[in-house]
Amino acid sequence: MTVHLRIWRQAGPDSPGRLAEYTVEDVNEHMSFLELLDVLNEKLITEGEEPIEFDNDCREGICGSCGLMVGGVAHGPQPRTAICQLHMRHFNDGDTIVVEPWRATAFPIIKDLVVDRSAFDRIMAAGGYVSVKTGGAPDANALPVTKEDADLAMDYASCIGCGACVAACPNSSASLFTASKIAHLAMLPQGTPERRRRVLNMVDQMEAEGFGDCSNHAECEAVCPKGISISAIALMRREYVRAVLSS
């Protein structure tokens, strides 16, 4: 199959950007979208042109390094699929595909399709962890947790921090990311001693980074490659109100 690509090219954060047009022929339907970009980059290098910069690492939908807007949709048209696991069989011969980076003030462009997502790291550093001494690994039944809470905590903990929620939100809100990190610890006994400090610090840091507010559009849930529910945001809000009232 043959696909036509319109890809955002930008030399640096202070340089003007543009959509450049490319055509890739003999595309195998079993290629992932990132493998398509690999093929294009090999062609560009052979022709003496500068390859396209894009983030990637494990390419197994686990690490959260990859992240692109494909046809105006974060991670592309396939639900609950990271861009590294999106295969060309979901496109048609002759398609024109627009590829852009995440668009958010808090995610400044570094080059081409690469953005700076270190704002997420600073939110995590503000409290997304358990620092109390827990000693050695206890027996599995030493701290009873209901199955419902354990399942929900696992669902929230599956967030890979890719940033698709921010890119899809009309407000560029990081609420789903922040909420998932707060919620999974709030539901487990190990996270209880620091829950008040955690939610206050992480929400304050999220606001300091310049992310927008959540207005319940639910676009974040729609594009999340792990399908994390916006119920995490409701839990985060309850945690925040409880922490403020108890201070």
User: 52, 75, 100: which is the final residue of a domain?
Assistant: 100
Asked if residue 29 and residue 92 are part of one domain, the reply reads yes
What pLDDT score was predicted for residue 139? 73
Q: Provide the CATH number for the domain around residue 148.
A: 1.10.1060.10
Asked if residue 230 and residue 187 are part of one domain, the reply reads yes
Contacts of residue 152, Cβ cutoff 8 Å, sequence gap at least 6: 183, 184, 187
User: Whole-prediction pTM value?
Assistant: 0.94
| Number of domains present in the structure of the chain | 2
Would 110 be classed as within a structural domain? no
User: What are the pLDDT digits (tens) for 46-55?
Assistant: 999 999 999 9
User: 41, 75, 100: which is the final residue of a domain?
Assistant: 100
Would 50 be classed as within a structural domain? yes
Asked if residue 58 and residue 122 are part of one domain, the reply reads no
Average pLDDT, the chain: 95
Asked if residue 135 and residue 236 are part of one domain, the reply reads yes
- More confident: 139 or 44: 44
Asked if residue 159 and residue 84 are part of one domain, the reply reads no
Distance (Å, whole) CA 227 – CA 231: 11
User: 55, 72, 100: which is the final residue of a domain?
Assistant: 100
Q: What is the mean pLDDT of residues 103-108?
A: 97
What pLDDT score was predicted for residue 200? 98
Q: Two tokens at 170?
A: 């009309």
Q: What is the mean pLDDT of residues 75-83?
A: 97
Contacts of residue 13, Cβ cutoff 8 Å, sequence gap at least 6: 108, 109, 110, 111
Give 194's pLDDT tier (boundaries 50, 70, 90). Answer: very high
Would 193 be classed as within a structural domain? yes
What pLDDT score was predicted for residue 140? 61
Q: Provide the CATH number for the domain around residue 52.
A: 3.10.20.30
Asked if residue 121 and residue 96 are part of one domain, the reply reads no
What pLDDT score was predicted for residue 231? 96
What pLDDT score was predicted for residue 136? 76
Q: What is the mean pLDDT of residues 216-225?
A: 97
Handedness of CA 86, 90, 93, 94 (dihedral sign): negative
Domain holding 16, by residue range, is 3-100
**What values do phi and psi take at 74, rounded to 5?**
-65, 125
Asked if residue 147 and residue 70 are part of one domain, the reply reads no
